[in-house]
């Protein structure tokens, strides 16, 4: 589904190489986790995949379902089925949550050359999914993220993900200081949205999140590369021993 080969990325502004040859393949239906010490390049990887400005790919490639995504603008990446959980955490005063969701869904459909969702159909779907995620009617009407608690924002993010029905979801939870409740929301959301034709990349500094999600594959990133890959037990090993051994092995 997602195939990253030998990806090298530097900062546009400075001559600083951040990703130094990342190889990663995520199969449909699988949940992959990336862990790693602070500063190893985890967030940079998600930014580059999302098409954020400021990064330059100097070598390598990334394809989603066979399509080169590095050439696409962020909207086209979304239309291709890529979802980044931090893509819409902004507060948008004056725009109702429901209106925003409908605009996002229809923009994606348009970019795919599909027909817009009728308002009746949209209402039906959004209510269904909101109910599944225990999101009340008031949260659908309020302006996007304005005055939302941390937990509500997380829930809203999962609703956006559910509405856009992405092929590959990337969640970068590294620096967001998730408390136990928010962590549970994220993991429940991911677990509900797991599907045979959908892949996940969950980036986290902490093992705790993976207690609830149980990834199929765990990667450790260090100094701009994936230096170790294993099963869920790798996350437990890191929890127990820290990153020091892995860093020493790969140095």
Residues engaged in binding ligand ADP (CB under 6 A) = 11, 18, 36, 38-44, 54, 174
Toward Mg ion, which CB reaches closer, 135 or 178? 178
Tokens at residue 59, please? 């070598």
Toward Mg ion, which CB reaches closer, 44 or 145? 44
Toward ligand ADP, which CB reaches closer, 174 or 207? 174
Report, in Å, the least distance between residue 44 CB and ligand ADP.
3
Q: According to the binding rule CB under 5 A, does residue 50 interact with Mg ion?
A: no
Toward ligand ADP, which CB reaches closer, 11 or 146? 11
Number of residues that bind Mg ion (CB under 5 A): 4
Choose the one of Mg ion, ligand ADP, none that binds residue 46, judging by a C-beta under 5 to 8 angstroms depending on kind: none
Q: According to the binding rule CB under 5 A, does residue 40 interact with Mg ion?
A: no
Residues in contact with 134: Cβ distance below 8 Å, sequence separation at least 6, in sequence order: 155
Report, in Å, the least distance between residue 57 CB and ligand ADP.
14
Residue with nearest beta carbon to Mg ion: 43
| 31-35 and 217-222 strand pairing | parallel
Report, in Å, the least distance between residue 41 CB and ligand ADP.
4
Determine how many CB atoms are found less than 10 A away from the CB of residue 3: 15
Report, in Å, the least distance between residue 251 CB and ligand ADP.
16
Piece in contact with Mg ion (CB under 5 A), picked from 30-38, 53-61, 117-125, 240-248: 30-38
Report, in Å, the least distance between residue 32 CB and Mg ion.
16
Toward ligand ADP, which CB reaches closer, 156 or 173? 173
Q: According to the binding rule CB under 5 A, does residue 250 interact with Mg ion?
A: no
Altogether, the residues listed in the chain come to a count of 251
Q: According to the binding rule CB under 5 A, does residue 174 interact with Mg ion?
A: yes
Report, in Å, the least distance between residue 40 CB and ligand ADP.
4
Please, which contacts does 144-152 make with residues 24 or more away whose CB atoms are closer than 8 Å? 144/88, 144/90, 144/91, 144/92, 144/95, 144/96, 144/97, 144/100, 145/89, 145/90, 145/91, 145/92, 145/97, 146/91, 146/92, 146/93, 148/91, 150/179, 150/182, 151/181, 151/182, 151/185
Residues in contact with 97: Cβ distance below 8 Å, sequence separation at least 6, in sequence order: 139, 140, 141, 142, 143, 144, 145, 156
Q: List, in sequence order, every residue forming a beta bridge with 4; answer none if it has no partner.
A: 24, 62
Strand ranges across the sheet with 199-203: 82-84, 168-172, 199-203, 31-35, 217-222, 225-230
Interface residue list for Mg ion (CB under 5 A): 38, 42-43, 174
């Amino acid at each position: 589904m997602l195939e990253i080969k030998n990806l090298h990325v530097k900062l546009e502004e400075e001559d600083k190489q951040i990703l130094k040859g990342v190889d990663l393949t995520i199969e449909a239906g699988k949940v992959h986790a990336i862990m790693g010490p602070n500063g190893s390049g985890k967030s940079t990887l998600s930014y580059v995949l999302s098409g954020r400005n400021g990064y330059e790919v100097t070598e390598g490639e990334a394809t989603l379902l066979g399509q080169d995504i590095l050439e696409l603008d962020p909207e086209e990446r979304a239309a291709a089925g890529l979802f980044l959980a931090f893509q819409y955490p902004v507060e948008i005063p004056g725009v109702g949550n429901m209106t925003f969701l409908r605009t996002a869904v229809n923009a994606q459909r348009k970019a795919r050359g599909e027909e817009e969702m009728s308002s009746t159909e949209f209402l039906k779907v959004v209510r269904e999914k909101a109910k599944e995620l225990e999101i009340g009617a008031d949260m659908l009407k309020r302006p996007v993220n304005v005055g939302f608690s941390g937990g509500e924002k997380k829930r809203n993010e999962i609703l956006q993900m559910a509405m856009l029905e992405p092929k590959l979801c990337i969640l970068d939870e590294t620096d967001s200081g998730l408390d136990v409740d928010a962590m549970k929301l994220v993991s429940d959301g991911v677990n509900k949205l797991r599907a045979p034709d959908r892949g996940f990349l969950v980036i986290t500094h902490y093992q705790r999140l993976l207690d609830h999600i149980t990834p199929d594959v765990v990667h450790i990133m260090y100094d701009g590369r994936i230096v170790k890959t294993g099963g869920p037990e790798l996350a437990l090993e890191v929890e127990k021993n820290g990153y020091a051994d892995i860093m020493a092995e790969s140095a």
